[in-house]
């Protein structure tokens, strides 16, 4: 059962299966959770028809208990796909040093919410829905839960069996990087400048450690792109003695709403991170920052960029496995 949700409402597209005999040219494997190895919308519509609803309900419960789950899970999806592809390797606990042990991933959160969603769907359909698909469905759901527009998530990913701390630094960029470095990293994953800017819009919710933008405040000089009043405000929020454990909202205006305020902040030179504000300084991204201040444009751009991201380096068909628990391989 495919689920499209937007602005807190639900639109459920119900598939009525009349019989198992298919017409000539119709893929008889579609919707059974197995096929020729490609991703497709409605992948579980026969093998686990309520999968997406089960995951949404679980995510809603997790979000209601702790709304920081939303930006946490959204970030998890991005960090997963940029290292080894979208194979749920970021969820693994071991053995050895795994992705979540990297200092770049030190602030990741949302793991219990994914565990709960996987457990819920596993109870209904044992051994059918992969952790990598659960994570991508859950990422979509967090956007909906914070007031954004949903999208159709193609599924059929399989779970990887390997996770290495050593692979994180070469794939994930730190927030002190500017567009030239960021764009190079995104292009390696098959993503362009417009998609990079749209995905950065995820910073409309969530927080950053003061340590992640300390270079703008306490470098050789205060970042000249920071308005004086903004720099002074950040100085107050981020005492030097505790910059690692102190956090600031990425969007200081509407920090819990998935909206276009993040882009408006950048236009007003109120982007929190170097990576955020640098998008206004580069001709390859500045126009996209402006374009995404329109709600309809951003919703469309973000959805298509998330689909593109979710297709990076996937395992399908007989590759990988369907983990029974997301933290350990079978």
Question: Given this model, what pLDDT does residue 1 score?
Answer: 41
Q: What are phi and psi of 301, to 5 degrees?
A: -65, -40
pLDDT digits (tens, 9 = 90+) for 60-111: 999 999 999 999 999 999 999 999 999 999 999 988 899 999 999 998 999 9
Q: Are 139 and 74 in contact (CB under 8 A)?
A: yes
Domain ranges of the chain: 2-15+33-170, 179-308
Q: What global pTM score does this model have?
A: 0.88
The residues, any chain, with a CB within 8 Å of residue 201's CB and separated by 6 or more, are 260, 262, 263, 292, 298, 301, 302
Question: Given this model, what pLDDT does residue 110 score?
Answer: 98
Q: Are 133 and 55 in contact (CB under 8 A)?
A: no
Query: Which has the minimum average pLDDT: 34-43, 156-165, 215-224, 318-327?
Result: 34-43
Known catalytic residues are 79
Query: Which has the minimum average pLDDT: 25-29, 231-235, 273-277?
Result: 25-29
Provide DSSP, 240-296. Answer: GGGTTT-EEESSSSSTTS-SSHHHHHHHTT--SSHHHHGGGTSHHHHHHHHHTTSHH
The residues, any chain, with a CB within 8 Å of residue 22's CB and separated by 6 or more, are 28
Binding-site residues for Ca(2+) sit at: 80, 83, 85, 87, 89, 99, 204, 251, 259
Architecture of domain 2-15+33-170: Orthogonal Bundle (1.10)
**Token pair of 193 as six digits:** 């400048």
pLDDT at 259 over 70: yes
Binding-site residues for heme b sit at: 203
Cross-strand partners of 249:
207
The CATH number given to 179-308 is 1.10.420.10
The residues, any chain, with a CB within 8 Å of residue 59's CB and separated by 6 or more, are 69, 73, 113, 117, 138, 141, 142, 145
């Amino acid at each position: 059962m495919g689920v499209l949700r937007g602005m807190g409402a639900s639109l459920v597209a119900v598939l009525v299966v009349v019989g198992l005999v298919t017409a000539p040219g119709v893929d008889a494997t579609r919707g059974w959770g197995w096929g020729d190895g490609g991703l497709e919308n409605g992948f579980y519509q026969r093998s686990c028809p309520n999968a997406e609803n089960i995951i949404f309900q679980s995510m809603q419960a997790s979000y209601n208990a702790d709304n920081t789950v939303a930006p946490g899970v959204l970030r998890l999806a991005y960090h997963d796909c940029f290292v080894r592809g979208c194979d749920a390797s970021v969820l693994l606990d071991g053995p050895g040093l795994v992705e979540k042990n990297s200092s770049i991933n030190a602030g990741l959160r949302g793991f219990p919410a994914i565990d709960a969603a996987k457990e819920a769907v596993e109870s209904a359909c044992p051994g059918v829905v992969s952790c990598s698909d659960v994570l991508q469905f859950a990422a979509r759901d967090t956007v909906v839960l914070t007031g954004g527009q949903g999208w159709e998530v193609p599924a059929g990913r399989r779970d990887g069996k390997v996770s290495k701390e050593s692979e994180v630094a070469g794939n994930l960029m730190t927030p002190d990087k500017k567009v030239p470095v960021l764009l190079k990293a995104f292009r390696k994953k098959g993503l362009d400048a417009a998609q990079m800017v749209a995905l950065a819009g995820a910073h409309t919710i969530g927080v950053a450690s003061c340590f992640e933008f300390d270079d703008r405040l306490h470098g050789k000089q205060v970042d000249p792109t920071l308005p004086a009043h903004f720099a002074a405000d950040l100085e107050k929020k981020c005492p030097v003695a505790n910059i690692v454990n102190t956090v600031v909202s990425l969007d200081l205006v509407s920090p819990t709403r998935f909206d276009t305020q993040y882009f408006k902040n950048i236009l007003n030179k109120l982007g929190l991170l170097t990576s955020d504000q640098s998008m206004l300084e580069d001709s390859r991204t500045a126009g996209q920052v402006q374009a995404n201040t329109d709600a309809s444009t951003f919703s469309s751009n973000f959805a298509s960029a998330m689909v593109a991201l979710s297709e990076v380096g996937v395992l399908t068909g007989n590759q990988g496995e369907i983990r029974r628990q997301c933290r350990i391989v079978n």
